[in-house]
Amino acid sequence: MSRAELLSPEGLRIDGRRPAELRKITSTTCVLSQADGSAYLEHGNTKVLAAVYGPREARHRALVLHDRAILNVELNVAPFSTGERRRRSKNDKRLLEMASFVKQTFEPVVIATLYPRSQIDIYLQVIQHDGGTLQACINATTMALIDAGIAMTDYVCACTAGWVEREAAIDLNYMEESSDTSEVTIAMLPKSSKITLTQMESRLHVDKLEEVFRLAGEGCKQMYEVMDKTIRDRAEDLARKMAV
């Protein structure tokens, strides 16, 4: 099996990016009519749709907490999202694990004590998968929660990073993920630079860890700029419409 050259001699990756370069990010909020908040995010070819319903009455009375809201995350991957068509069942372990990662990431950030005895539902739909699904899900969820008007202490920005051949690189695409490179996903609160999620599969030499983490942190800051701009543009747009 021939191994694709992930890093060219000039230092360019498969898709022509430099190692510390993010893919093209496009995002928009308020795309669904039924959800309280929604966002659509594209990291290059990875496309994720996030919908937030809530705070609303909890489905299962047994799970209700008297002093805070509970978070419920569901992740769905479309059968046509990867090159090979594959139908994933709702109970697929990988998907459940990713959903629980998203839940863990947002539990400390959402000010749940403002909404006692209620439930906040986050539904994620992966429409196209080209690497970096977890980071796209977290970023889309942040924007959808803001669009729904749910109080949070800060944005949550996520970025993947890894060691591609001889350099640390951020925002890995599908080819880079599926080959022998290590990959770390980091979710960070940009204002305080605190990390709320770190997830890594594969092996990474401890000497390289610092470099990879540093690069991922910078990637998160770049993500924050992009997401903030989208949210502010939308807020200005709404304010303008209301003022008339």
Partner 1 sequence: MPSLISPAERDYILKGIECNIRADGRQRPDYREVILETGVISQTSGSARVRLAGGTDVLVSVKADIGPVLVDPETGEGADKGQIICNVECAPSASQQFEGRGADELNNELTQMMTRFLSHNTTSLTSTPSNTTPSSTTSSHNSNGAGGINLSKLCIIPGEQCWILYVDALVLDYGGNLVDAVFMGTRAAIFDTRIPKTEVQDLGDGNFDFEVLDDAEDTEIVEGREDMPICVTLNKIGARHIVDASPLEELCTEAKLVVAVNRSGELCGLQKGHDGGIEPSLLLEMIQFGKTLGQTLIKQLDAKIKAEADADMVKRQNGQPVVKLGFFAQ
Write the burial class of residue 31 (CB in 10 Å: 0-12 exposed, 13-18 middle, 19+ buried): middle
| Coil, strand or helix at 241 | helix
DSSP assignment letter at 89: P
For position 238 contacting partner 1 by CB under 8 A, the verdict is no
User: Shortest gap between Cβ of 114 and partner 1 (angstroms)?
Assistant: 21
Give the count of residues interacting with partner 1 (CB under 8 A). Answer: 33
Residue 37: Cβ-neighbour burial (10 angstroms; 0-12, 13-18, 19+): buried
What mask of x and - would describe binding to partner 1 in positions 140 to 179, judged by CB under 8 A? ----------------------------------------
Contact present, 110 and 145 (Cβ < 8 Å): yes
CA dist list (Å): 104 to 15, 96, 156, 159, 167: 32, 12, 12, 16, 30
As measured in angstroms, the least distance from the Cβ of 208 to partner 1 is 32
Binding mask 107-136 for partner 1 (x = CB under 8 A): --------------x-xxx-xx--------
| Touching partner 1, residues 37-96 (CB under 8 A) | 38, 40, 45, 49-51, 53, 56, 59, 72, 74, 76, 78-80, 82-83, 85, 87, 90
Q: Could you tell me how many helices (H) and strands (E) the chain has, helices first?
A: 4, 9
CB of 45 to partner 1, least distance (A): 7
Shorter beta-carbon distance to partner 1: residue 18 or 86: 86
Interface with partner 1 (CB under 8 A):
26, 28, 31-35, 38, 40, 45, 49-51, 53, 56, 59, 72, 74, 76, 78-80, 82-83, 85, 87, 90, 121, 123-125, 127-128
